[in-house]
Chain A
Amino acid sequence: MRLNYPPNVKVVKVPCTGRVDILLILRAFESGVDGVYLAGCLEGECHFLRGNLRAKKRVQYVKGLLDEVGLGSGRLEMYNMSSAQGQRFAEVAREMTERIRVLGPSPVKRNVKRES
């Protein structure tokens, strides 16, 4: 398809979004990333039955934590798309990048830089 998507999106491969633990997301924010999104399979089409539904719940939970710590829940999102939807993948990457641009850099990142 040779579709373009923003180069700031770093893909972390997991066997299923059900593998994405709360701590994995938090660690990403600790390392200074500006936003995180999960690209899971379409609902009802999980190869492991409920992996993407579990991920959806965890994302909701971590959104609450992000609000609590003051980073804001908008920096995290869950998307669903099939492996055949390359177009949608690129679209979501652009959408999320735009959203994060509006929110600005993570305040954690700013301080990580200051320390170094």
Chain B
Amino acid sequence: MIVANRKSLEEILSMLKPYKRVLLLGCNECVTVCAVGGEREVGVLASELRLVRSRDGEEIEVREQVLERQCDHEYIDQVRPYVGDYEVILSMACGAGIQYVAERYRTKPVLPAVNTTFLGVTLEQGVWSERCQGCGECVLHMTGGICPIARCAKSLLNGPCGGSSGGKCEVDKELDCGWQLIIDRLKELGQMDRYEEIIPVKDWTTSRDGGPRKRVREDLRL
């Protein structure tokens, strides 16, 4: 899933300073699972905003709405009947959702309430961890199912580097060395011969270096 962090209340308040009528949009997908922008978090932020404004004797009207997804226009269009009643949209979706809402309502300011951080997994209730950087050219078959791009701080294709010590990364002593994880896993799989193979230079044009990416499946188009 896409994992995000809530922006500080201070930052959100400074963005909202000129506005009194706010449409607060949550999303039922990734940000609900990582507990940052679902129904509950929308409720908490709306409550915080009302408490602050009320404390200062200022007005605010916050309409709380949670869309099924903010990355599909069908759901974004559901708020069209009343979006005009609000001065601003505050979105708790990932960066993709926030942008798509902004694209659909071109005359309405759309503000981010979260910082989108990574593609990851739930390690345990309340703990999430990065696993993928969407580089567009997967090498997991060569690296024991552990991604050197996302799990190595340097994204080395042939690691580890000299900063690996006791299985930890020099960037942070709490951080596992991605290449140590790869080697351990290859050993478990009895595939250490793969470690001997040099992975060639990666073509980064499939990643961000090739510009914003787009995927089209002609057979699915209407």
Contact = CB atoms under 8 A, between A and B. Distances in A.
Interface string A2-23: 0000000000000000000111
B55 A70 contact: yes
Contacts of B51: 26, 29-30, 69-71, 108
B48 A65 contact: yes
B131 interface: no
A47 interface: no
B47 A111 contact: no
Contacts of B10: 68
A89 B166 CA distance: 53
Contacts, number: 46
A41 B55 CA distance: 33
Nearest to A25: B47
B40 A23 contact: yes
Interface residues of B, number: 14
Contacts of A114: 57
A30 B47 contact: yes
Interface in A42-59: none
User: Which of B9, B40, B47, B54 has the most chain A CB atoms closer than 10 A to its own CB?
Assistant: B54
Interface of A is mostly: helix
Interface residues of A, number: 17
Contacts of A30: 47, 50-51, 54
B43 interface: yes
A23 B48 contact: no
B44 A22 contact: yes
B47 A68 contact: no
A112 B59 CA distance: 11
Contacts of A69: 9, 48, 51-52, 55
A26 B47 contact: yes
B47 A27 contact: yes
Interface of A: 21-23, 26-27, 29-30, 65, 68-71, 107-108, 111-112, 114
- 5 A-B pairs with the lowest CB-CB distances in the bound complex, closest first: A26-B47, A107-B55, A69-B51, A108-B54, A68-B9
Interface of B: 8-10, 40, 43-44, 47-48, 50-52, 54-55, 57
